[in-house]
Amino acid sequence: MALQPIATTQNGARAAHPVPVVLNGRPLEANRRIPLNLDWIDQVRVNTSAVERRAATHVTRRTVKKDTQAAWLLRAIACMDLTTLSGDDSADRVRRLCAKARNPLQRSLVEALRIEELHLTVGAVCVYHAFVETAVKALEGSGIPVAAVSAGFPAGLNPLAERVAEIHRSVEAGAQEIDIVITRAHVFNGEWQALYDEIAAFKEACGPHAHLKAILGTGDLMTLRNVARASWAAMMAGADFIKTSTGKETVNATLPVSLVMVRSIRDYAERTGFFVGFKPAGGIRTAKQALDWLALMKDELGRPWLEPSLFRFGASGMLADIERQLEHHVTGRYSAAYRHPIA
């Protein structure tokens, strides 16, 4: 049975309990580039109303309570790309974020929940290229990877050579994960070969170790069929993750968009035997939303997609809400944000 080849985080959870990547009993391997198959893109069928209905009712079909809810919220932390992507980011701001990444929960909560053994950290810290070195240094020894947004993030319209060079620089600076944004116009114009070539070039630039997360910019793509087609092109081009949004679009991660992407991941795995991870990003701010997404992953793809190696939240504000919920779980009193150290 194929195990996930790379433990992207070194927290206790993963070290103690490796989860084999299996879909419907079939062991999967890590994704690698395959020739572009235009038939698969042509065969995309997405019924928007039906997808919306499934997304809307799924959250009413699943809920977790009490200790289970606490455990699921901890899982959300483990799968979180703690992110800062602001124009006013600074080295100290990034160091503060890294400190929070190492200890996402305050000691008293960890003890009350009796989860010391988990050595819980977030999944990664996500920053602009300019702060990769700062973050790598700040996270040294923690096993927490640094993710860099790259390739002309968030518009992705710089010349291709510059975007590829940017990836090289981030990888050299120590980024283990590269979040790139695709050229949305390729999707609008049906230029699948160009899209595929672009993403393949980015993946190539990542080298053998860094993971590529392809941001589809779903808020820009507008239609769910576009989202599905772009997902297929990105997966065939070798992306390790497909990711919804930059967080800079008007509409970012939504459940319908996520449903379409995870269904694409499932079909791709069934056709190729390769697994691809999923990262919803932007707009996910509450603990409740985190639970909704975890349930979606569990029901649509299964337990392996609840590991940080296959699932990440791109979020900056969600952790604060999770901390409050966990404190409420421990004390029975509703908590307030100021009681938890900020990131």
Partner 1 sequence: MSTIAEKFYSMDYGLAPEDPKEANLWLDRHHRRFGLFIDGAWRKPSTGEYVTTNDPSTGDALAEVALGTIDDVNPAVAAARKALPAWQALSGHERARYLYALARQVQKHSRRLAVLETMDNGKPIRESRDIDIPLVARHFYHHAGWAQLLESEFPGYQACGVVGQVIPWNFPLLMFAWKVAPALAAGNTVVIKPAMQTPLTALAMAELAQEVGLPPGVLNVLTCNDKAAQALVEHPDLDKVAFTGSTEVGRIIRKVTANSNKKLSLELGGKSPFIVFDDADLDSAVEGLVDAIWFNQGQVCCAGSRLLVQERVAETLYAKIRTRMESLRVGPPLDKAIDIGAVVSPVQLETIRKMVDAGVAEGARCWQPSTAIPEKGCFYPPTLLTDVHPAATVVQQEIFGPVLVAMTFRTPAEAAELANNTVYGLAASIWSENINVALDLAAQVKAGVVWVNCTNQFDAASGFGGYRESGYGREGGREGMLEYLAPRWLHTLPTAPAGAPGPSHLGTGEGISGAEDAGEETSGDDSRAATNPSPPSLSGPSIDKTVKQYIGGKQARPDSGYSFPVYGLSGELLGEAPLGNRKDIRNAVEAARNASGWARASAHNRAQILYYLAENMIQRRDEIAQRLARVVGEDQAAREVALNIERTFSYAAWADKYEGVVHNPPGRNITIAMNEAVGAIGILAPSEAPLLGLLSLVLPAIAMGNTVVAVPSERYPLVIGDLYQLFDTSDLPGGVVNLVAGRPAELAKTLAEHDGLEAIWCFRSNEEASFVRAASIGNLKQVFTNDGHAYDWFNPAQAEGRWFLQHATQVKNIWVPYGE
- The binding site for partner 1 (CB under 8 A) comprises 13, 16-17, 24, 45-54, 57, 60-68, 70-72, 74-75, 78, 113-115, 117-118, 223-225, 263, 294, 298-299, 303, 306
Q: Say whether 88 is catalytic.
A: no
Q: How far is the CB of 162 from partner 1 (least distance, A)?
A: 35
Q: Which is nearer to partner 1, 190 or 207 (CB)?
A: 190
Shortest reach from residue 277's CB to partner 1, in Å: 16
Query: Which member of 81, 203, 243, 321 is catalytic?
Result: 243
User: Scanning the structure block, which residue is given the tokens 């992207």?
Assistant: 8
Q: Is residue 179 annotated as part of the catalytic site, yes or no?
A: yes
CB of 233 to partner 1, least distance (A): 19
**Shortest spacing between CB 330 and partner 1, in angstroms:** 10
**Cβ neighbours of residue 119 under 8 Å, at least 6 residues apart?**
11, 12, 13
Nearer Cβ to partner 1, position 82 or 265? 265
Minimum gap (Å) between residue 66 Cβ and partner 1:
7
| Whether 279 is catalytic | yes
Alpha helices in the chain (DSSP H): 12-16, 38-42, 48-61, 66-78, 91-102, 107-113, 132-138, 160-172, 184-188, 192-206, 218-221, 224-236, 255-272, 287-300, 318-331
Q: Give the CA dihedral 242, 248, 205, 240, nearest 10 degrees.
A: -10
> Between residues 127 and 228, which has the closer beta carbon with respect to partner 1?
228
Q: Which of 144, 146, 148, 136 is nearest to 104 (CA)?
A: 144
Residue with tokens 């996910």: 284
- What is the rounded distance in angstroms from the CA atom of residue 274 to the CA atom of residue 265? 9
Query: Looking at beta carbons only, is 44 or 146 nearer to partner 1?
Result: 44
CB closer to partner 1, 258 vs 316 = 258
User: Catalytic residue among 179, 220, 240, 321, which?
Assistant: 179
Per the residue annotation, which of 100, 203, 213, 279 is the catalytic one?
Answer: 279
Residue count of the chain: 343
Q: In what helix (H) or strand (E) does residue 52 lie, and over which residues does it extend?
A: helix 48-61
> Are 242 and 234 contacting, i.e. CB atoms less than 8 angstroms apart?
yes
8-state DSSP, 4: P
Q: How far is the CB of 167 from partner 1 (least distance, A)?
A: 33
Tokens of 141: 């020894």
Nearer to partner 1 among residue 68 and residue 331 (C-beta): 68
Q: Quote the CA–CA distance of 111 and 116 in Å, as a whole number.
A: 7
| Cis before 18 (ω within 30) | no
226 touches 187 (CB < 8 A)? yes
What are the catalytic residues?
Answer: 179, 243, 279
